[in-house]
Structure 1
């Protein structure tokens, strides 16, 4: 059983109230997580505020500490990954990738330095624009990628000179609590504080006057609540929210080369990723072949616990997400869609849903128009590119989109028409790592994460004007 404490000001914090954490592959309790109250939040914010001046004032020490933190995460990679695998259900290899990504975020951001822009430097005056750290910030972490997103937020925030109060999801708190303990050997007390709780704690963090920014990865609905909660204090925010990513196959796509890439871009992580392919548009001439080949792949995927090395797909992480996926499939079938593979919960313990391919899907069905966030791929036929472009750019989401074709020039032209922060040709979910920014259009987010853009989002600019006469 896992039993990790919260971390406040570099010390253990345990509470009388401890909530059980379930393994989504077995529905069995795997540990207990302490639950923070308002006093714990105040203590964490106060610790972050005390640590902030010294942390902000010492860039060389920050770089050294972040490099040491990356090494601490790497040294415990297998241990952290095992916790991720049992609390999320995702395969061990994906869990280990999360941990290594966190270490990469820490190392990459440790090497960044904010630019200084000289506007004037003459006998009359020196004028330059510099970047200053915002201050103590709150980071709210989702359940689908708890360690990856933790690193994505901690790396730039800490490198920029901010201190952080972290709140993981109550569904997957164990890995973040463990990382909070491990980081104590590298970071001064108060620089990173990890407390745990539900939506009420997230709302209290958003409203807390001691936190100058909130960075959230989560659903669009949660993002709207954070935006509203932060408005009274004009608090800075970064929101990385939902997506309903389309992928368009053109007539000349090489299915032999691309069909597996398309399948895994939709299903990796059991489809529980904001940038997964959520709806696939195929030309009528290829439609039957595309559906059949995707169904063949879905039928052969090994679905099982994340701790089983043979598993390629795990369960959904929460019972609510399982219920949503089932309802969306039922709604699609009642509206005329056809289940070609899957289409039902697996008859075993755990939140398992069979990898599902839906044929005869169309825009207007909930499973096409909404973010299903699960192992379901609706395939929509189309007759003309202009027709499909009208459909893919309609709606509230604008995170990612891809086009698949044998003509790269045409692919680039189509990709340029997507109303999304990320666009791909012959790939989806591809990234250069920590240096490549992520940005959602429309309801998919506010602000930028990763790269120099994400680093600078944890700073405020200051104009320094020095008169010389």
Structure 2
């Protein structure tokens, strides 16, 4: 059994839970189910490690992140296999996630938290300093479990905090194994990894020893975390759901842009927070654009991520599998036409054939809700102001994109989208330097880049009179 990482020790605890392979529906492992006592030990270990770690020079913290990246890459084959078995994505894409995780560690190691001089004259010197917050509680999703974990613990640790990290109960294996590999390198208590379900998440969120919470998850989960954090005014960063809209103007190269839109919608079987979830296409090219999307969907190879030549794996878990199928069924009853896909593939595993759906009103569930699966609604527009208004008519605001042969015009339109990230002739292009932030119900705060690092700090103003 894989072990939790608590205070530099491998801990299996007294209880366990099962992890299921979404491609086979078979139990592939039992992992520790963190008890209240185990969590208390993890938080206490993080508290005990905090003074020495926060006093460690940032150069040494940087080197630790580089060492972590090297260890990850040295064990990438084992970690990638675990990631495929628990998450479902094809092996090459699991390897890509892990290589991205190493790149994230190395990029984070280049960042700095310099003292900012606000004023320095004959009267006074005013400095702004970024200090560690304390013990960070990090809650990680199941769609990209390893890179999401790295995206939280790397900047938190670089800033001088200690961390208690909880992976999703659907995908704990690669993260727990990474913790085992890092155990001999990271000082005891600086990074703790505990596994469990929703109850553990509630305990971690409410724990009085946690000063900062970072969650990537659903809007419902974000509301729960925010409510629990309010009592003690814990600092929070919430990266929540998205219902990203793409607006495609009539002057595009239909074949080229349809390919890019399809990729950005169906990557990881649609299980990406910032994937395209609805696409508005100008009347003049709508039918031709839809025909290209249908051809791409029909040609997509869906199957077990361990098999060769697979483009897309299964939905990660049964609950989400049922929800996506339910949204596709509701689209049929709400006036939509499912042009291809939308049905279960085989009798075993959570596989859904990629679906392209047309004819829906904006009020339809598949348009108004985040599907987080392989089903894309395509909607017509003739007036760009109408398209922008419809794209913005959502309680979510994570990302959005505009596509046009005229990049300047596309940028002007993209500037009108109410979302944290707006792309021009691209979508789902995520780099570690670019902060991700949600508008409206899509989140609070930022991850990635300098802004993401600073989110793991508290500000301290130092004022030094000169007379």
Q: Mark yes or no: TM-score above 0.5.
A: yes
Are 1:380 and 2:379 counterparts? yes
| CA drift at 1:466 | 2.9
Provide the aligned C-alpha RMSD in A: 1.1
Q: Which residue in the other structure is 1:75 paired with?
A: 74
Q: Alpha-carbon deviation of 1:154?
A: 1.2
Is the 2:141–2:168 contact (alpha carbons within 8 Å) kept by the matching residues of 1?
Answer: yes
Report the more deviating stretch, 287-296 or 168-177: 287-296
Contact 2:22/2:87, CA 8 A, preserved across alignment: yes
Aligned to 2:107: 108
1:40 is aligned to 38
Do the aligned residues in 1 keep the contact of 2:6 with 2:192 (CA within 8 Å)?
A: yes
- How far did residue 17 of structure 1 move? 1.3
Per the TM alignment, residue 186 of structure 1 is displaced from its structure 2 partner at its CA by 2.1
CA–CA distance in 1 between the matches of 2:381 and 2:466? 68
Q: Give me the whole-angstrom Cα distance separating, in 2, the residues matched to 1:187 and 1:321.
A: 35
Alpha carbons 1:35, 1:196 under 8 Å: kept: yes
**Offset, 1:176:** 1.1
Structure-2 residue corresponding to 1:248: 247
1:54 to 46, 52, 55: 52
Paired with 1:437 and 1:336, the residues of 2 have a C-alpha distance of: 38
**Correspondence for 1:399:** 398
Cα deviation, residue 124, structure 1: 4.6
Deviation per residue, 1:377-434 (Å, 9 max, x gap): 0111122112111111011110111111111111111111100111111110012x21
Q: Distance in 1 between the 2:247 and 2:96 partners?
A: 28
Match of 1:178 in 2: 177
Mark the runs of 5 or more structure 2 residues left unpaired by the alignment.
none
CA distance in 2, matches of 1:124, 1:275: 49
Contact 2:254 2:285 in 1 (8 A): no
Shift of residue 348, structure 1, vs aligned partner: 2.9
CA contact (8 A) 2:243 2:277 kept: yes
Residues 250-278 of structure 1, C-alpha deviations (whole Å, 9 max, x = no match): 01011122211111100010000010000
Q: Match of 1:401, SS?
A: strand
Residue 444 (structure 2) aligns with: 446
- TM-score normalised per structure 1: 0.97
Count of residues in correspondence between the two structures: 466
Question: In the TM superposition, what whole-angstrom CA distance separates every residue of 1:280-318 from its partner, at most 9, and x where no partner exists?
Answer: 111222111111111111111110011112110000001
Residue 119 and residue 294 in structure 1: after superposition, are their counterparts in 2 closer, same or farther (change >3 A)?
Answer: closer
1:266-415 equivalence runs, <5 A = 266-415=265-414
Q: Residue 185 of structure 1 aligns to a residue in which SS?
A: coil
Work out whether residues 239 and 437 of structure 2, in 8 Å CA contact, stay in contact via their aligned partners in 1: yes
Structure 2 residue matching 1:239: 3-state secondary structure = strand
- 3-state DSSP class of the match of 2:394? coil
Give, in whole Å, the separation in 2 of the partners of 1:327 and 1:148: 29
Kindly report which structure 2 residues correspond to 1:128-167, keeping only aligned pairs within 5 A, or say none. Answer: 128-167=127-166
Asked whether 1:416 is paired with 2:415, we answer yes
Residue 194 (structure 1) aligns with: 193
Q: 1:347-376: per-residue Cα shift (whole Å, max 9, x none)?
A: 231001110011112201000000000000
Of 9, 12, 17, the match for 1:11: 9
1:126-168 residue CA offsets vs partner (Å, 9 max, x unmatched): 3311110111110000011100101111111111111100011
1:75-107 CA deviation, whole Å, 9 max, x = no partner?
Answer: 111111111111010011111111112112211
Cα distance in 1 for partners of 2:244, 2:120 equals 48
Deviates more, 1:252-261 or 1:120-129: 120-129
| Structure 1 unmatched ranges of 5 or more | none
- For each residue in 1:27-63, what CA deviation from the matched residue of structure 2 results, as whole angstroms up to 9, or x when unmatched? 0011111000110110000000111111111122211
Aligned match of 1:204: 203
C-alpha separation in 1, matches of 2:52 and 2:318: 44
Q: Secondary structure at the match of 1:413?
A: helix
Question: What is the DSSP-based 3-state SS (H/G/I as helix, E as strand, rest coil) of the residue aligned with 2:426?
Answer: coil
Structure 2 counterparts to residues 259-270 of structure 1, below 5 A = 259-270=258-269
> How far apart are residue 468 of structure 1 and its match?
4.5
Q: Is the 8 A contact 1:24 1:350 kept in 2?
A: yes
Aligned to 2:167: 168
CA distance in 1, matches of 2:107, 2:307: 32
- Output one character per residue of 1:213-232: Cα deviation in whole Å (capped at 9) or x when no partner: 00000001100000000000
SS of the residue corresponding to residue 262 of structure 2 reads helix
C-alpha distance in structure 2 between counterparts of 1:381 and 1:157, whole Å:
44
Q: Does 1:435 align with 2:433?
A: yes
User: How big is the shift at 1:210?
Assistant: 0.6
Asked if 2 retains the 8 angstrom alpha-carbon contact of 1:66 and 1:187, the reply is no
Stretch of structure 1 that moved more, 449-458 or 113-122: 113-122
Q: Which residue of 2 aligns with 1:461?
A: 459
